[in-house]
Chains A and B, each alone.
Chain A
Amino acid sequence: MSDTTNSGPVLAADGTPLKRSLARALRMQKIRALMLIAPLLLFVLLTFILPIADMLFRSVENQIVSETLPRTVVALADWDSESGEAPDEEVFTALAEDMKIAAEAKLHTRVGSRLNYENPGISSLFRKAGRKAKKWDIENDGPFKEKFLDIHKNWGSPDVWRTIQVYSPKLTNGYFLNAADMKKGADGAEWRPENEQIYWTLFIRTLIMSLAITTSCIILGYPVAWILANLPSRSANLLMILVLLPFWTSLLVRTSAWKVMLQQQGVINETLVWLGLVADDARLVMINNQFGTIVAMTHILLPFMILPMYSVMQTINPTYLRAAKSLGATNWTSFWRVYFPQSVPGIGAGSILVFILSIGYYITPELVGGTKGVFISNRIAFHISSSLNWGLAAALGTILLVVVLGLYWAYDKIVGIDNVKLG
């Protein structure tokens, strides 16, 4: 094109702007490319992105109260929770009406258990009231305040009513406060009593132990990756099979093997006692604590550290080391100043992989962690499958996700994500 000096848009041979002409020529190609990845895109959307979005939403969703008790919520809006007294008859009538409908649809227990997360004991109030409410005639059976108080005196407690009032909006931050060991008190958010705080400890423990696992993976994996990258290919292949061997064994089997190794009557303790290094009555406690979790998870995640390190180290030309030595550097200086900096991208990739995997690990801490070695994921699993408090599980999961993204961002700022290479 000769019109580089021309300030107007460059034109194609037929006079249309070149950009449009180019876009038209490429459109078909783009559509075809999109069609090729469409099945995968759809699959990912349906099985990954939508469920995650749904779970994230559950951490703030709170429609159950306002949907099941619509009249009560409206009537309760004017009640002053600071008054120290239960609401008046109008609210109780609304509750009786809502309760009757809910009990007929068998929905009252669900609201009960929802509110029970926030104020233990409410569940039984709802169950008992629901049973009675089914027989009530709303038009004639009033006043209901006494009837409710007859069922259980706690219906007169302002605390119960404040819980209902606080959790009547459609969205709530209650789950998140809960996940951060806080609760909605009379004056907004407040800390839970010391003996009820568990999640902070768990989050911090999860982060620290994940870091410990990542560090031990780096320390153990680096030499292995180095040997792999520097051996002649025949022996390197054999060693690679040994590195990959754990992948071919079930995770459960591997974890159980660690149980056999580490327990007090286990292989290691028996050997130490037999060698006389440890007294029989002072066997080492190596399982059902943090040590056990770190050992077992380091073993399980080690290949994820070795593989990216190896593939990066493979690309480092050995002449660099020779060059460094010819320039007068000792073996250590050559390694530290020339080889190591070039292998950092592999360490970065491996660390991110291992750290993110371990922060969400579940099976191994569950099996060998005892009470001191469990992770936040074990608590999430508990809320998903046992306590059925999915909102709290979702909030804990969301916090975990945000923490990981935050760390990822920090990593990008400090090391630079372009410095991560998988090969």
Chain B
Amino acid sequence: MADTATNDAFVEFARVQKSYDGETLVVKDLNLQMPKGEFLTMLGPSGSGKTTCLMMLAGFETATHGEIRLDGREINNIPPHKRGIGMVFQNYALFPHMTIAENLSFPLEVRKMGKSEREEKIKRALDMVEMGAFGGRRPAQLSGGQQQRVALARALVFEPELVLMDEPLGALDKQLREKMQFEITHLAHELGITTVYVTHDQTEALTMSDRVAVFDDGRIQQLDPPDTLYEEPKNSFVAQFIGENNTLEGVVKEINNGLALVQLDGGELIDCKPVHDSVVPGARTRVSIRPERVEYNKERLQEGAHTLKAEVLEFIYMGDIFRTRLRVAGNDEFVIKTRNAPDQVRLKPGQQIEIGWLSEDCRALDA
């Protein structure tokens, strides 16, 4: 990724580093460009530096090194209240001593807006999140989902061009979370707001975002649209972190016509797509295959495809899918998922089968 400023980037991190104690870097050399109107999610395990990045963008943390630009302007030394960035916090941070309407009025009042204009904007913002009838209530009188909506309305009421969200759905139950995921993306796209969303929930990241930045160890491991991220992980961390994943380990024998021949530790040979730079003949590699891309019906397999012997260890009926755990090349945690279709075979524990896959679904990554 280029570290020069590109003029069309709305939000830009250029070689940003952050250290709290002067000994370890929490964020290591972060480069990121976001066009206007994009919904970008920072995804990663806790301690990966994603929240620190968000706080640096909001102005609550200062970057130890590097530049952060907003709309072409360097904002490193601009205090948070002058950045005009809307923010939704993890615990909503609705002011408990103010009513909902007063909460929404706050950002407008500090901008010295007239009363009638304020009221109009508050009403519009509350209607937008379907909370129009709750203006007179206090935050404590609302449910978690309602507070969430109000927090969103408050972050949007002063019409910021950039909105930051720090795990805003973490406290909600599953159903409500899914509903809010949809509503937030819908609103963000409708209003054309640039959004930076932080979460550790990969499903949330995949379903909501235009692009996802996967963080680990203070670096962006991969920055791609959700489908690319899921189907073409660039390294084993991303492959492990996003979705379910089967891993087999082995040594690269040769690379021919864009296909790598890998000898697994058990001696079996498989064809893989070499992805990571470290995949060269003789190097150890970790091979990743998605559970739903594994096929055990021989008729559906490609002509001449490598197959592996597998023993069924466990069959789990999950309604829409079957989840089967296999022992493959010494790995007891090899999982395959099959759709619950009328003609689908239900495997039984103890059964010996042969499995295979398309070689491009099998990705050779870093060891």
Interchain CA distance A331-B82 in the complex, whole Å = 11
> A317-B91, A327-B154, A327-B158 given as contacts; is B106 within 8 A of A337 (CB)?
yes
List chain B residues, Cβ under 8 A from A317: 91, 93
Within 8 A of B (CB), among A291-332: 317, 319-320, 322-331
B179 close to chain A: CB less than 8 A: no
List chain B residues, Cβ under 8 A from A66: none
B107 touches A319 (CB 8 A): no
A323 touches B84 (CB 8 A): no
B81 close to chain A: CB less than 8 A: yes
Across the interface, B84 reaches (CB within 8 A) one of A328, A329, A333, A334, namely A328
Mask of B85-105 contacts with A, CB within 8 angstroms, 1/0: 111011101011100000000
Interchain CA distance A322-B107 in the complex, whole Å = 13
List chain B residues, Cβ under 8 A from A163: none
A328 touches B110 (CB 8 A): yes
Interchain CA distance A328-B108 in the complex, whole Å = 9
B106 touches A319 (CB 8 A): no
A322 touches B97 (CB 8 A): no
B residues sitting closer than 8 Å to A (CB atoms) are 58-60, 79-87, 89-91, 93, 95-97, 106-107, 110-111, 154-155, 158, 164
List chain A residues, Cβ under 8 A from B79: 325
Which of B80, B90, B158 has the largest number of chain A CB atoms within 10 A? B80
B81 touches A329 (CB 8 A): yes
> A327-B107, A327-B110 given as contacts; is B84 within 8 A of A322 (CB)?
no
A276 close to chain B: CB less than 8 A: no
B110 touches A322 (CB 8 A): no
Nearest Cβ on chain B to A329's Cβ, whole angstroms: 5
> A328-B84, A328-B111, A338-B95 given as contacts; is B106 within 8 A of A322 (CB)?
no
A342 close to chain B: CB less than 8 A: yes
A320 touches B93 (CB 8 A): yes
Given contacts A326-B164, A342-B95, 8 further A-B contacts (CB under 8 A): A317-B91, A319-B90, A320-B93, A323-B93, A328-B84, A329-B106, A329-B110, A334-B81
A319 touches B81 (CB 8 A): no
> A317-B93, A328-B107, A338-B95 given as contacts; is B87 within 8 A of A323 (CB)?
yes
B110 touches A333 (CB 8 A): yes
Mask of A125-159 contacts with B, CB within 8 angstroms, 1/0: 00000000000000000000000000000000000
8 closest A-B pairs by beta carbon, nearest first, are: A323-B93, A327-B107, A326-B87, A325-B80, A319-B93, A329-B110, A341-B97, A325-B81
Chain A, residue nearest B164 (CB): A326
Interchain CA distance A320-B97 in the complex, whole Å = 11
List chain B residues, Cβ under 8 A from A319: 89-91, 93
Interchain CA distance A326-B97 in the complex, whole Å = 18
List chain A residues, Cβ under 8 A from B87: 322-323, 326
Chain A, residue nearest B157 (CB): A327
Chain A, residue nearest B102 (CB): A337
8 inter-chain pairs at a CB distance below 8 angstroms, sorted by A residue, are A317-B93, A319-B93, A320-B95, A322-B60, A326-B81, A327-B81, A337-B106, A342-B96
List chain B residues, Cβ under 8 A from A337: 106
Interchain CA distance A328-B84 in the complex, whole Å = 6
Across the interface, A326 reaches (CB within 8 A) one of B85, B90, B96, B111, namely B85
Chain A, residue nearest B84 (CB): A328
Nearest Cβ on chain A to B343's Cβ, whole angstroms: 49
A328 touches B158 (CB 8 A): yes
Chain B, residue nearest A345 (CB): B97
List chain B residues, Cβ under 8 A from A322: 58, 60, 80, 87, 89, 93
Chain A, residue nearest B87 (CB): A326
A330 touches B81 (CB 8 A): yes
Nearest Cβ on chain B to A421's Cβ, whole angstroms: 12
Interchain CA distance A328-B106 in the complex, whole Å = 9
